[in-house]
Chains A and B, each alone.
Chain A
């Protein structure tokens, strides 16, 4: 620890020396963003998927066989994702642009082609470039036509050069896949559980995902997993992993006081389990019953299942080769140790809200999950087709490529992105609202969507933990940009400099660590693992081994990383409490750039900043070197399909006639309106002082001052006291002084121009220092009694305009079921006469008015009622009495009649008893 600290902070005697402040350090931020861009995380992640991950997925699932013919096979040898194109019919496709897709309501996607080798009868056939589906392409990713294009080229493709990309165009809609935040996988997490301390690991491999939990109950330690019906005492698990003697078990757990384990160990003796086979047999009885039985499973015993479960499903991320459970046992031992430590010392409890324990899932990894799932299904379908078709006797040979349809993969991916429903069958995962339509209200709004982080927590739950600001979010997530209301604190935004990692190859890191003095876990004695000098080295949650010289390992690691020998996004740190070195190279971690400090001094100094400013060196080099408009007109564009009724007169801006992917004609008309402000339109200053126009006054009636200036807007001063928007007062005052002086003022509350100075400036130009002037009434012509606070304030027109909301109805459409007036402006609906209004009429005893509002003007209905049986009849005829003798006609709301008939439909016969009005 000492040498590391000295390396970092220098000699303690130098601590007092001041560190020279680097001026204009903030310039690093734009320099950094220049090379990174604001939505690089999404694009990086998608690029990784399309160029690396998809190949791995296909390789992992590259072999398809069938039960019907042992000779039959399909082998995928390669996979490619091409450039986005569009089918022009007759098997001709042409390259497309995102904008074309937006206009024609198509999906911006590229073909996924594979090279395969398969058997046709007895022949072996190879095929290249076979289409298996289409992959929606992220804009500005490596396969997008927009990547690495100049401004001119982008303009030619009708694309905004400032558009950040990072989203998809699916069925003409722009969709972002939000960043999903979740707890990191394959890491131990010690927490307070139901019965006390517990250690949980969410193991996740390519095909499995399951949590394993070690907890204490009473004085015994148990392992819980959804493979087992009950918690299993850990001693039995150890026995099943060939750790037979109690000594071995105690050593691998490695706690000083082994008496704490005695009750757990006794469990084995109670159950008479002394051999590995006995343990397997015991576990076999505790397994959850399988849902479906295959032919292969009939020859297997429950003990075999238990052994396999132990090897592949429990703590799935710890590799087990040839049923050598050593590393898994060490891992389990460490979990138990953590639980025991946490029992006596609260320090050992982890914080699940800590940001180091979180991983971000980006577009790339989400699509990769989806693709792997659908690719497996695609192969399964091929297999079942082969199973069904091969036994049949047919004239032509069975050729499997005829059954390779591209629709499955295409539609699955498109459906997922367009609806945001992420259903991964093998993980039993079902998530809603993963994607959102890019908000194009403003450039900032669109950018903001790309950096949004969505948390998996339910927004309805009333927990404060996940919502509150975590100190570990510093520099990674914005502390203030989160929505108000139910999703407050659950939806976050990335900070400017944040980077999200993608998966890094583990192999070079393993090799480096080995060379830096790692003793492999498979050769270290259990006792040595827990010896006081040893530090356990983890890589992505897996135990690699132990080291006795952790300082050396860390400094070598850091050196090599700064030299660029291993990825700069691999991270390493020591946990002195756990006595562990954690190395991470998995995807989804949040990173940010740091300035390296050596011997208490930053390596970055003023000369670097000047070089940056002059453009001699860029941020990348540093890494490499290791160091008022008053216009009355506002335009509103509306994208309204022609089929809608056009109520308001508008200009036709553009017409587009095209076809969509299904070759149906598509006509889009862009309408435009020029609107002048009218009474009821909403305006706002930049201080949240919004309001609607209450009166439009001619210039001659407006008050005017000694310069002949009359105001554009007169605001009610009662808006100030409760809202306390002092900024607006300041904006007015300094705006006024600024126009007189011809300069800008800063309106910030932190420094900026002082009211006193601004007032002085006003006085200098012959205005009252308070900003209040004499005004004359435009109506009477006399001076106003009060002095009026006046000056320039920036105002915006908000999109809520009367013309879009005005609504009235006398007669109109009715709902089919209830015959009551429809609801809402878009359906020309009625205006609701609600409960409180009803109460008023009751209070006034205005019964006729009540009847008129609630029945006559709503769903009045004439009903025939039979006086004899009390049931409803029709046309003066009672069908149950088969008579028209006693039928009389009454008026009631249709909703009431509906209730009566609905009750009848449920075999309840309501009957009405009529009596005369005057009785």
Chain B
């Protein structure tokens, strides 16, 4: 088995399993934790970022810490979601409990940091912990259009489809002054909630509260948050000619390039693209190539991806996760009376 000897801690992807490779020098993986050394080694590089997605590198950190951030983002960063539905009237064919479930899954625009969690479920909602919405839709025949022109349900009927944009915010107390109309409501306008036919009617009161993903997946602020380890590919035996092109095909696009040098074609690793290799290990299909390459992953280099649902920007979600961790740590310390 090939080994790579440098200062980086890494795992090697062999044909049938992932093998750990022990580095020569000291790393963050060493037994003792030195805050100074950790601070010196830790590095964060943001690769791309917009309102919903973000990719950044977290370098020089232990896997358990990186995993903690991931786990906190998934299930402990709170958001607002519809949690209670008062059904005043529902004559559509969708059942009350299913309708309520669907409404709960609609992502809401509302900064959870400005709200408190509901302490007692049975207590009356207050402006501090609840957002109230209403959904009042009635389906009817569309008189403006004659039947001959179209037979599509959208044309012959009014409100045959109920969309998330029809959810209206009802401010409680001073909420009207505290929030802008545009800052509260469903994030996506075109989520189909129910289908109706003339005579069907929905009259619902919706109450959104603050909670986290542990309680119900609808409160999770992210679609997903995950990381992967930085791939590191090394060609250990020169690969030339036709084999070089074959090798190129075994990796993601741009990872391997074929260089020409006085009539000689040989494969080289394109360092800048190597991070996007999928780790598909298709080299092992070729007996002549499988010993020419060592595929490894750097153990303390995490490529994080956060896909926000939209209530919070991804960087804010990460920061929130940090503060949750901080709160947990201080809670532990108080418990220990240190």
A interface residues (Cβ-Cβ under 8 A, vs B): 633, 651, 672, 674, 698-700, 704, 706, 708-710, 763, 766-769, 773-774, 776, 778-787
Contacts and interface: CB of A to CB of B under 8 A. Distances in A.
B96 interface: yes
A741 to B, nearest CB: 16
A769 B285 contact: yes
Contacts of B252: 766
Contacts of A786: 16-18
A769 B282 contact: yes
B280 A787 contact: no
B217 A699 contact: yes
A706 B278 contact: yes
A648 B282 CA distance: 54
Contacts, number: 84
Interface in B201-258: 213-214, 217, 220, 224-229, 250, 252
B101 interface: yes
A736 to B, nearest CB: 12
B63 A672 contact: no
Contacts of A651: 95-97
Closest 9 CB pairs of A and B: A781-B67, A708-B226, A766-B278, A700-B71, A781-B63, A706-B228, A708-B224, A700-B74, A768-B280
Contacts of A767: 278, 280
Interface in B253-275: none
B71 A784 contact: no
A704 B281 CA distance: 18
Contacts of A700: 70-71, 74-75, 213
B162 to A, nearest CB: 19
B278 A704 contact: no
A672 B94 CA distance: 13
B235 to A, nearest CB: 19
Nearest to B252: A766
B64 interface: yes
B279 A706 contact: yes
B81 to A, nearest CB: 16
Interface in B69-91: 70-71, 74-75
Contacts of B16: 786-787
Given A674-B95, A698-B214, A700-B75, A708 B18 contact: no
B67 A674 contact: no
B333 interface: no
Nearest to A777: B67
Given A768-B281, A776-B226, A785-B18, 11 more contacts: A651-B96, A698-B75, A704-B226, A706-B278, A708-B225, A773-B279, A774-B13, A780-B63, A780-B64, A785-B17, A787-B281
Interface in B302-319: 305, 307
Nearest to B217: A699
Contact of A768 (B66, B101, B282): B282
B98 interface: yes
10 contacts: A633-B101, A651-B95, A700-B74, A709-B224, A766-B278, A769-B282, A773-B279, A774-B18, A781-B63, A783-B297
Contacts of B214: 698
Contacts of B110: none
Contacts of A787: 16-18, 281
B307 to A, nearest CB: 8
Interface string B3-32: 000000001010011110000000000000
A700 to B, nearest CB: 4
Nearest to A781: B67
Interface residues of B, number: 41
Contacts of A674: 95, 97-98, 101
Contacts of B217: 699
A709 B226 CA distance: 9
A781 B278 contact: no
Nearest to A786: B17
A140 to B, nearest CB: 28
Contact of A763 (B97, B225, B282, B305): B282
A151 to B, nearest CB: 16
A773 B225 CA distance: 18
A781 B97 contact: no
Contacts of A706: 228, 278-279
B11 A633 contact: no
Which of A698, A708, A710, A767 counts the most chain B CB atoms within 10 A? A708
Contact of B70 (A768, A774, A781, A783): A781
A770 to B, nearest CB: 8
A787 B13 CA distance: 9
A603 to B, nearest CB: 44
A633 B307 CA distance: 26
Given A672-B95, A699-B75, A708 B67 contact: no
B18 A783 contact: yes
Nearest to A672: B95
Contacts of A776: 226-228
A188 B234 CA distance: 87
A784 B282 contact: no
Which of B18, B66, B229 counts the most chain A CB atoms within 10 A? B18
A787 B220 CA distance: 28
A157 B70 CA distance: 57
Which of A633, A768, A774, A778 counts the most chain B CB atoms within 10 A? A774
A784 B279 CA distance: 14
A183 to B, nearest CB: 53
Contacts of B227: 776
B316 to A, nearest CB: 19
Contacts of A781: 63-64, 66-68, 70
Contacts of B307: 708
A780 B307 CA distance: 22
Contacts of B305: 708
Contacts of B68: 781
Nearest to A633: B98
Nearest to A653: B95
A294 B122 CA distance: 88
B17 A782 contact: no
Contacts of A768: 280-282
B45 to A, nearest CB: 19
Nearest to B100: A674
B15 to A, nearest CB: 9
B74 to A, nearest CB: 5
Contacts of B224: 704, 708-710
A786 B16 CA distance: 7
Which of A704, A763, A768, A781 counts the most chain B CB atoms within 10 A? A781
Contacts of A783: 11, 18, 229, 297
Given A781-B67, A783-B297, A699 B74 contact: yes
B64 to A, nearest CB: 6
A163 to B, nearest CB: 21
Contacts of B19: 785
Contacts of B71: 700, 778
A763 B280 contact: yes
A706 B17 CA distance: 16
A767 B282 CA distance: 8
B294 to A, nearest CB: 15
Contacts of A633: 98, 101
Contact of A774 (B101, B250, B279): B279
B280 A782 contact: no
Nearest to B96: A651
A877 to B, nearest CB: 62
B99 to A, nearest CB: 11
Contacts of B75: 698-700
Contacts of B278: 706, 766-767
Contacts of B282: 763, 768-769
A708 B53 CA distance: 13
B109 to A, nearest CB: 23
Which of A710, A766, A767, A778 counts the most chain B CB atoms within 10 A? A766
Contact of B67 (A672, A773, A780, A785): A780
Interface in B28-56: none
A217 to B, nearest CB: 75
